[in-house]
């Protein structure tokens, strides 16, 4: 009888507390135990009761603490602003309902929400653990659905801070459109607890193409303000070399993180402190319509194609890549691309590579490029093709630097241990006459490359100034170029049979436009300090060459390619030049197969091709004697018909009042 009495009292107390609670029943702390008001895991629907308790103004926090309870919510729960919903003792909410609002508090390792629930917490700035939606992180369970539910929560709340506690999270692609693994939406921060303690690992059984663990970009909205940090991504690549087998797909298009906006944009993303490895494609891909992306402190290993890959589809702007580190490859994997790679695509602007220690890089098709403080370890060429507005500085490159300029740029203050090659390639193939491309203040070695330490071909307007050059072959070589300056370089040859400075044209009708200036260079340990063949050039008197060695200038077509001199050492030619400026005492050594002799300038002045006749087509740098008996030089190319005397500097410039005279010694 007493037992029945006690049970009846307990029932009445339970009924009263669950249905008739008032503000006066709430403790002064405002913290209320959900089980005291009948919110338990008895299988009954609890949406209404939870909303009712939270409706009381004195309730600040509702605690779910019944050990192991599954509290059913299939309806809608509304939690007023500022109120806390707390979970303890492995209690969770299950069902397919909706929870609006509330500040969620739980252990980061607890499973508190059914994946069918829509949870829209108030406090998106607080961390939301992926384990709250049931992710295990045990290295065995496929956590894909739990992770997708977590990121969907962030999408619906227009942002959130998502935490991956320490562990290994197995993921795989969705088996229905859009087939993505994890989509990241605007205003989302994703963080692990360290790149060596938190790992997101692609399921080893998922070896299909286009596997991308985190994807930014979709076809319905912009993705802005995203951060991914402090974790590792293991892509479980089963292949050793690039490309993968044909059965895998047309290319290795997988990536640890992938940005692609079409037709919308991906903007303001920050990826940092990540270890990404074993990738059948790229470590991180930044593609179409991606803007203002920073990639920083990435450790990368065992990737099949590119490390950091930029561009490819246009609309890419303001990408910064810094503190990237290549770790030694393992398991026999051989990469098929570059450590950092920008594709030559439409509309790629403002790219920065800085403070990286990597194997190699390429940076092509860019308007606005800065490469600063990069160290490369591989002998592979580092290519910058079709670039303009570029600066390559403070870097140590153990592979040759190859640049195909499309506009102004500088290569300065670097250590280039396998030389520099400036040329026209690919879509730019053919001669390009540029302005203000400078190679200056570098230490340049040829290494074991069978090419000049500084080689310029098919590009005009390149200036090589104030470099220290050491070469096993020719040191500085210009081929079929023009308008270049080679000034104030210190040149050391390892083998005396090679040339210090070699400037020549093999196709006179097409190349060699403009004037070379070769002055104030110090050339050591060579029998061939300076040689110019079939080009227009000025050789200044400040060049220093080994004693007894000569500067050789050969003009096979002297009429088309004059030699202009501002006082030099002994010059060797195969004939007397037809024009140019000369100073008294200049010596020209004529070296023909039949005889050799010296000509000495006895009167300073200019040589010229003849009198201006008013009808001829004159070339840039042609010399003529005008009607006032002064000598003029063409300063603009093609079809000048103005009288040099009255032109006043548009087509002609007065260079001398006297004709130079030479006598045979």
Q: Tell whether 509 and 611 lie within a shared domain.
A: no
- 3-class state of residue 14 by DSSP: helix
- Tens digits of residue pLDDT in 499-509: 999 998 876 54
Mean pLDDT of the region 588-614: 83
d(CA 153, CA 162): 10
**640 and 613 in contact (C-beta within 8 Å)?**
no
Domain assignment present for 429 = yes
Determine if the pTM surpasses 0.75.
yes
Domain assignment present for 580 = no
Domain assignment present for 453 = yes
- Tens digits of residue pLDDT in 514-535: 668 888 899 999 888 888 887 7
Q: Of 625, 520, 532, which is closest to residue 571 (Cα–Cα)?
A: 532
Domain assignment present for 488 = yes
- Tens digits of residue pLDDT in 352-390: 999 999 999 999 999 999 999 999 999 999 999 989 999
How many CB atoms sit inside 10 A of residue 241's CB?
11
SS3 content of the chain, % helix, strand, coil (to 5): 10, 45, 45
**279 and 237 in contact (C-beta within 8 Å)?**
yes
How many CB atoms sit inside 10 A of residue 337's CB?
18
Mean pLDDT of the region 181-190: 95
> Where is the domain boundary, 98, 122, 146?
122
- Tens digits of residue pLDDT in 317-332: 999 999 999 999 998 9
Which residue did the predictor score with more confidence, 244 or 70? Answer: 70
375 forms beta bridges with 357, 396
Domain assignment present for 318 = no
Q: What is the CATH number of the domain that holds 635?
A: 2.10.10
DSSP 236-278: -----SSSPPGGG-SS---EEEEE--SSS-EEEEEEEEEEEEE
Both tokens of 173, joined, read 């692609």
How many CB atoms sit inside 10 A of residue 122's CB?
19
Domain assignment present for 144 = no
Range of the domain at 630: 606-664
At 252 the pLDDT is 66
> Where is the domain boundary, 92, 122, 152?
122
At 566 the pLDDT is 47
Instruction: Categorize the per-residue pLDDT at 433 as very low, low, confident or very high, splitting at 50, 70 and 90.
Output: low
Share of residues in the chain with pLDDT > 90 (%):
57
Q: Tell whether 510 and 614 lie within a shared domain.
A: no
> Where is the domain boundary, 122, 141, 171?
122
- Domain count within the chain: 3
**338 and 361 in contact (C-beta within 8 Å)?**
yes
Domain assignment present for 364 = no
- The 3-class SS string of 596-657 reads EEEEEEEECEEECCCECCCCCCCCCCCEEECCCCCEEEECCCCCCCCCHHHHCCCCEEEEEC
d(CA 359, CA 419): 16
CA distances from 5 to 9, 13, 14, 36, 472 (A): 6, 12, 14, 20, 106
pLDDT above 60 (res 430):
no
Domain assignment present for 171 = no
Q: Tell whether 401 and 509 lie within a shared domain.
A: yes
pLDDT above 80 (res 637):
no
């Amino acid at each position: 009888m007493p037992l029945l009495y006690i049970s009846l009292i307990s029932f009445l107390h339970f009924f009263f507390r669950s249905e008739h609670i008032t503000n006066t029943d709430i403790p002064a702390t405002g913290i209320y135990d959900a089980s005291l008001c009948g919110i338990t895991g008895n299988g009954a629907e609890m949406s209404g009761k939870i909303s009712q308790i939270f409706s009381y103004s004195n309730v600040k926090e509702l605690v779910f603490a019944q050990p192991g309870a599954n509290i059913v919510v299939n309806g809608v729960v509304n939690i007023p602003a500022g109120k806390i919903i707390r979970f303890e003792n492995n209690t969770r909410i299950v069902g397919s309902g909706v929870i609006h609002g509330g500040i969620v508090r739980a252990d980061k390792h607890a499973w508190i929400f059914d994946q069918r629930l829509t949870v829209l917490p108030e406090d998106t700035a607080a961390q939301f653990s992926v384990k709250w939606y049931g992710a295990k992180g045990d290295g065995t369970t496929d956590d894909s659905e739990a992770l997708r539910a977590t990121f969907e929560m962030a999408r619906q709340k227009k942002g959130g801070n998502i935490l991956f506690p320490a562990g290994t999270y197995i993921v795989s692609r969705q088996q229905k459109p859009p087939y993505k693994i994890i989509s990241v939406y605007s205003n989302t921060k994703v963080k692990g607890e360290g790149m060596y303690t938190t790992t997101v690992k692609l399921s080893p059984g998922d070896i299909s193409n286009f596997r991308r663990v985190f994807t930014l970009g979709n076809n319905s909205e912009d993705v802005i303000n995203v951060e991914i940090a402090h974790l590792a991504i293991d892509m479980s690549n089963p292949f050793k070399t690039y490309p993968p087998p044909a059965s895998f797909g047309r290319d290795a298009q997988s990536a640890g993180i992938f940005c692609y906006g079409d037709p919308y944009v991906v903007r303001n993303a920050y990826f940092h402190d990540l270890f990404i490895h074993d990738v059948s494609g790229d470590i991180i891909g930044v593609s179409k319509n991606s803007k203002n992306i920073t990639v920083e402190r990435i450790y990368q290993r065992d990737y099949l194609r590119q490390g950091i890959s930029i561009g490819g589809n246009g609309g890419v702007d303001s990408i910064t890549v810094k503190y990237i580190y290549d770790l030694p490859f393992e398991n026999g994997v051989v990469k098929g691309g570059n450590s950092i790679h920008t594709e030559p695509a439409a509309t790629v602007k403002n790219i920065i590579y800085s403070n990286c220690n990597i194997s190699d890089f390429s940076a092509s098709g860019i308007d606005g490029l800065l490469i600063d403080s990069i160290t490369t370890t591989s002998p592979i060429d580092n290519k910058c093709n079709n670039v303009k507005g570029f600066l390559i500085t403070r870097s140590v490159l153990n592979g040759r630097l190859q640049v195909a300029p499309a506009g102004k740029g500088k290569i300065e203050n670097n250590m280039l241990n396998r030389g520099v090659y400036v040329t026209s390639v690919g879509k730019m193939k053919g001669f390009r006459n540029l302005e203000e491309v400078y190679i200056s203040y570098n230490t340049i070695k040829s290494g074991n490359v069978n090419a000049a330490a500084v080689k310029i071909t098919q590009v005009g307007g390149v200036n090589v100034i104030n470099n220290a050059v050491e070469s096993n072959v020719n040191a500085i070589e210009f081929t079929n170029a023009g308008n270049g300056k080679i000034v104030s370089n210190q040149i050391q040859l390892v083998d005396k049979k090679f040339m210090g400075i070699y400037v020549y044209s093999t196709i006179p009708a097409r190349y060699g436009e403009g004037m070379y200036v070769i002055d104030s260079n110090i050339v050591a340990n060579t029998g061939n300090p300076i040689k110019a063949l079939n080009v227009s050039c000025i050789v200044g008197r400040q060049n220093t060459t080994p004693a007894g060695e000569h500067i050789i200038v050969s003009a096979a077509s002297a009429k088309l390619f004059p030699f202009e001199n501002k006082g030099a050492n002994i010059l060797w030619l195969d004939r007397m030049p037809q024009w140019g400026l000369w100073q008294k005492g200049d010596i020209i050594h004529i070296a023909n197969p039949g005889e050799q002799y010296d000509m000495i300038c006895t009167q300073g002045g200019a040589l010229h091709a003849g009198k201006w006749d008013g009808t001829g087509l004159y070339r840039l740098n042609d010399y003529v004697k005008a009607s006032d008996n002064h000598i003029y030089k063409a300063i603009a190319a093609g079809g000048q018909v103005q009288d040099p005397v009255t032109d006043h500097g548009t087509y002609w410039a007065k260079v001398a009042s006297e004709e130079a005279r030479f006598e045979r010694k």
